[in-house]
Structure 1
Amino acid sequence: LQALMNITPEVLELLLQKYNLSRGQFITMFQLQPLVFVPRLPSILQPIFGILYMAIFSVALGGNTAVLLLLCRKKALKSTSTFFVCSLALSDLLISLVCIPITFMQHFSTNWLAGGFLCKLVPFLQVTAVSTSILTMTCIAAERFQGILYPLQLGNIYSAIRATKMLAGVWLSSLAIASPMWYAHKVEIKYDFLFDVHYTCCLEVWPLPWQRQVYTTVLLVLMFLVPMGTMGILYGKIIHELWCKHRIHDVMFQALPGSEINKITRKRKRAVKMMVVVVLLFVICWLPFHLVSVLSDFGMLLVKVYYSVQVIGFSNSVCNPVVYAALNENFKKHLLCLLMQGIICRRGHCFGSRGVRVGISTVESQHLGEPTEQKRDGAFLSEINSFLTFNNTKNNPGFVF
């Protein structure tokens, strides 16, 4: 059988003529496998993965779009902390809009159907989005660490300009680390002369095999292990300060009554818990993918395992909106209001900003003199500000979150 696997087209034709066999008879006689390996889901798994991909796509697209709609409003944009949350949502949208549909389509076909441009774009955007997510979470951890432990240091005062610069660095770094994927991927036509079939394949082709191994290892170290180690140290110190020492480092807060300090501490703890959950879910979803990538490049694991680890990685695009809704009551309320508004608009009863809406009341309070929607916005933005710990004393004097 090993000799047959090294057979040439010319020798195959001679054998078929000599023994008067058809290709099908020859393949059946020796139980031969295709000479060209084409990743494709087994038929029994296709319905399961189809449901998984459609569910992930729908929830990720709807959830992250809702996050952006709720945060990218005039009042929300005054809070510079929302820039980082928007960056996470954008990276998840890249996965859900580009990577998930093309990968889903490819699992059900033996040929690459998306063309040469998407062959380069899909893996490039996948690496970019995953790298952006983990670097953004690292920036959040660093800002939270500085805001809680060293809130009065001048260099740690947060601003929109600083956030923009940090995110520009995050996205540029992610694009740079993903650029080899653009050059390494290309569409090739592979001919399986044994089965007499031509395959159109999107392949990751490097000039030398060791270059692919080096790149995959660099991705694992620089875009996963190092950021995760950094976040582990930072959040470890934060948890030690808030839960073990119960310290309030900000002098402005130390003059407040004990009940107010406890309230601030609870908000900080809740915000830390939320981000720790986000980070842990990212690790659970993407660690298997990184490990399988390295092991398969070094020939220690079958490529077929990619089916499972890739869909697990894509499922992380769903996690962040679900975490926000589960752990943030104000986000949950605004999300429900947004959904109600969309349902009402589709029924032809959509009003302007001063109109009456079912589920989103803009009726002015007779006693308090302010719209109830504005009060909800204030509460929601307070939660968003506590989602990330920044000490913006210029715009928010005497208040950290």
Structure 2
Amino acid sequence: MEPSATPGAQTGVPAGSRQASPRPPDYEDEFLRYLWRDYLYPKQYEWVLIAAYVAVFLVALVGNTLVCLAVWRNHHMRTVTNYFIVNLSLADVLVTAICLPASLLVDITESWLFGHALCKVIPYLQAVSVSVVVLTLSSIALDRWYAICHPLLFKSTARRARGSILGIWAVSLAVMVPQAAVMECSSVLPELANRTRLLSVCDERWADDLYPKIYHSCFFIVTYLAPLGLMAMAYFQIFRKLWGRQIPGTTSALVRNWKRPSDQLDDQGQGLSSEPQPRARAFLAEVKQMRARRKTAKMLMVVLLVFALCYLPISVLNVLKRVFGMFRQASDREAIYACFTFSHWLVYANSAANPIIYNFLSGKFREQFKAAFSCCLPGLGPRSSASHKSLSLQSRCSVSKVSEHVVLTSVTTVLP
């Protein structure tokens, strides 16, 4: 983040006095040591920030890599939704591996240390990753909306999903080119530019003050506000469809049957000893499908909510800074610096949060994560875990059989 005051005011050294009096030979070296020791060296609370960045870096890289490996190794997990989740993980890996270290150093030292070329590349890749994440979440919401609310209008396939992913990357790479074009690296102290990269800044340079206002207003609407609004509408309709008894012949039939259990006791006793009707089995498959869709919808809604919360602070701060020109002559510089630093960390924390969400809300991903960690750490009690797993599988099978008998017999009495 660039300094908001002049170097003389920040360091306490009057600029006029330095120009009036001749400098000793070691003045520049002593001045640089002073800047590093009292201004640029991490403070105590910044060490906490460094630890938080390192934790996010490790969790994001390991978690998103496991997500990609889980889908790649298991053919039954290669669904349309999981293809988009893998693309989301690839974007998170990109922004974590390339952009997070640079962002950490900039937030701590308030200096750009990577030269002119990377000043254009790293912000460009960060903008591309944001665009990929937003377009991927939008594609997931659109796919789920068609599959649940309008299944006859559009048939999603793995081939179409791969084509959509290629289109997402192509659009993101093309649309974010202006971000790389306007980025330039400059030194706050030009007389020390050849001696050190400290107090160098990588920031946007526009020909007119109107252009950044238009650009960042459009950026905020296109990459945050409009997609969130459309996705919220899509998931609201999905929620009504899955939880509002909108699926024909599913919830209504069960409700009618379960409201009158005394009338069906004799028929249920006959149904337990006979084979259920084919329509009853189709009905049970429909119930299972609805439950699976509910679990997937819950997970995707949580992913969208976490994304909205993590990207909200930096989106609002960028609009206030670039569009409305705030924070240029702010008196409480440390508070503003802390807000921007925390908002940067939240963006990367979103990349680490997604694999955790998959682990808690998706049984398939959770099993694959456990299998991966058991292979890497075989000494974590494999015997006890194996016995526990077999016991849990037996209990699940027994419970599943009982529930299937109850549902099948109930449906047999309801369906003619």
Q: Tell whether the structures are fold-level matches, with TM greater than 0.5.
A: yes
Aligned to 1:264: 289
Could you tell me how far apart the structure 2 residues matched to 1:249 and 1:208 are? Answer: 62
Could you tell me how far apart the structure 1 residues matched to 2:313 and 2:87 are? Answer: 24
Please state how far the C-alpha of 1:283 moved relative to its aligned partner: 0.2
Please state how far the C-alpha of 1:258 moved relative to its aligned partner: 4.0
Picking from 162, 165, 172, the partner of 2:163 is 165
CA-based RMSD of the aligned residues comes to 3.5
Aligned to 1:308: 342
CA contact (8 A) 1:337 1:359 kept: no
Could you tell me how far apart the structure 2 residues matched to 1:137 and 1:120 are? Answer: 26
CA contact (8 A) 1:76 1:82 kept: no
Matched, 1:340 2:366: no
Aligned to 2:150: 150
Aligned to 1:321: 355
Picking from 260, 265, 273, the partner of 2:298 is 273
Q: Which amino acid aligns with 2:306?
A: L
Please state how far the C-alpha of 1:99 moved relative to its aligned partner: 0.9
CA contact (8 A) 2:71 2:86 kept: yes
Aligned to 1:133: 133
Could you tell me how far apart the structure 2 residues matched to 1:229 and 1:41 are? Answer: 42
Could you tell me how far apart the structure 2 residues matched to 1:358 and 1:150 are? Answer: 47
CA contact (8 A) 2:71 2:78 kept: no
Could you tell me how far apart the structure 2 residues matched to 1:212 and 1:147 are? Answer: 40
Q: Secondary structure at the match of 2:109?
A: coil
TM-score by length of 1: 0.72
Please state how far the C-alpha of 1:213 moved relative to its aligned partner: 1.8
CA contact (8 A) 1:121 1:182 kept: yes
Picking from 290, 312, 316, the partner of 2:315 is 290
CA contact (8 A) 1:148 1:249 kept: no
Please state how far the C-alpha of 1:111 moved relative to its aligned partner: 3.4
Q: Which amino acid aligns with 1:171?
A: W
Identity of aligned residues (%): 27
Q: Which amino acid aligns with 1:119?
A: C
Aligned to 2:119: 119
Matched, 1:79 2:79: yes
Moved more, 257-266 or 207-216: 257-266
Aligned pair in 2 of structure 1 residues 75, 181: CA closer, same or farther (>3 Å)?
same
Moved over 6 A (4+): 39-42, 357-361
Aligned pair in 2 of structure 1 residues 11, 200: CA closer, same or farther (>3 Å)?
closer
- Tell me the alpha carbon deviations over residues 245-279 of structure 1, each in whole angstroms, 9 at most, x when there is no partner: 331499xx987554433222111111111100000
Aligned to 2:46: 46
Q: Secondary structure at the match of 1:59?
A: helix
Equivalent pairs, count: 325
**Unmatched 5+ stretches in structure 1:** 18-22, 24-33, 348-356, 366-371, 373-401
**Unmatched 5+ stretches in structure 2:** 1-5, 28-34, 251-277, 331-335, 394-416
TM-score by length of 2: 0.69
Whose helix fraction is larger, Structure 1's or Structure 2's?
A: 2
CA contact (8 A) 2:127 2:176 kept: yes
Q: Which amino acid aligns with 1:240?
A: R
